[in-house]
Structure 1
């Protein structure tokens, strides 16, 4: 497999983006791309100082940031890893996500916080319920058992191109998982660690209203994709 790229969407993550980037194993990625989603706290400057490629996407949304970052991935890239900026995920586990792709066993590898170990308090009750509800809906509609919709994942770049990703916000992760089923991708889930964010506030789970809005968006995305096929 050709080289891998790492994409990290970020919005006002100045207190933690440096730690996140410092935790990336040397030599694992040829490109580390931080998609600045409109930060005003110096996130982009810190990322540049750490050697990351920084792109700016003013349109707010996790998916919008990911789509913008993908435009910077070099043509010879074989796989992409998506990781959060808040140091809640362990960058050293990115190699575990890439291994099944490099071995030719998978097209999409998902890091499951449910199969792995989540630090107490890192997954709030409404997050767990929403995750459970969405994965059960996918099982009902597609007959596939997912344990998690977490964003830590790796995917072959050619497989990603087949999915036609378009969701601009928090429907991005579930869109990828549903479209992967529709396209017949080889999918593996592996256990990963998940911790409390080191600083700042989660843009979704830290606010109940935002969590409810994101939850409805995820459920609607599952249903919409099932209807449209």
Structure 2
């Protein structure tokens, strides 16, 4: 089988203490290019990423989705023959385990799935305290609604995920902030993509979360996730 071309997209905002560790643990024999999407960081995140061998693109407009969309735009500007077969998304805060990338892409390569979600809840190996009570409840509520409204079973909205590049383009992603992950899963369900979850490990992030680490971020994220779920019915 032809070796697939895999790109990794990592949205970041002020992750200078963690991004180097993330990049050092990505299995580079599997990945052709790592794209760090710098979302207006005021620290040395971009320099650390460049020195670690990543491609850095800049998106001044804040928002998780904005950063991811910038990474997609960068790939689209490449000649078609240089574009990837698979795109992997993961966070830059060192909460994911980058070395598990082969586990996340395996169902696409071996079982012909389109989208694979790394579920932090399937393995039972999430480090204590790595998921806040509001994250656990939010994941449960969101996946419960997706299951009942869209008839697709997920357990998590985890950031560590892999998707065929052709499928990602087909989804026509739009969300610019907190609704990015759930939008991808809902659109995949509506378009009947073949989806699967795999168990992944999860640990306490380095630094404070810009979303779950603040009351404002938690409320806004919860609202946007619910809004997105009902928007696409």
TM-score of the superposed pair, with normalisation by structure 1: 0.96
Structure-1 separation of matches of 2:120 and 2:4:
28
Q: Deviations over 1:94-152 (max 9, x none)?
A: 11111111124200000000102210000111111111111111111112221001111
Residue 100 of structure 2: aligned partner: 93
Structure-1 separation of matches of 2:147 and 2:111:
25
Q: Note the C-alpha offset of 1:213.
A: 1.1
Structure-2 separation of matches of 1:78 and 1:172:
21
Q: Note the C-alpha offset of 1:207.
A: 1.1
Residue 136 of structure 1: aligned partner: 144
Give secondary structure in 1 for the equivalent of 2:155.
coil
**Bigger share in strand:** 1
Query: Hey, which bits of structure 1, 4+ residues long, moved more than 4 A?
Result: none
Counterpart pick for 1:126 among 131, 134, 141: 134
Alignment of 1:84 onto 2:86 = no
Q: Note the C-alpha offset of 1:88.
A: 0.5
Q: Note the C-alpha offset of 1:206.
A: 0.9
Structure-2 separation of matches of 1:120 and 1:31:
32
Structure-1 separation of matches of 2:28 and 2:231:
41
Residue 184 of structure 2: aligned partner: 176
TM-score of the superposed pair, with normalisation by structure 2: 0.94
Alignment of 1:152 onto 2:160 = yes
What stretches of structure 2 of length at least 5 have no aligned partner? Answer: none
Give secondary structure in 2 for the equivalent of 1:190.
strand
Counterpart pick for 2:230 among 213, 220, 223: 223
Structure-2 separation of matches of 1:63 and 1:93:
23
What stretches of structure 1 of length at least 5 have no aligned partner? Answer: none
Residue 52 of structure 1: aligned partner: 54
Q: Note the C-alpha offset of 1:208.
A: 2.3
Instruction: Decide which moves more: 20-29 or 9-18.
Output: 20-29
Q: Deviations over 1:61-106 (max 9, x none)?
A: 1111001011222433100000000111000111111111112420
Structure-1 separation of matches of 2:19 and 2:64:
16
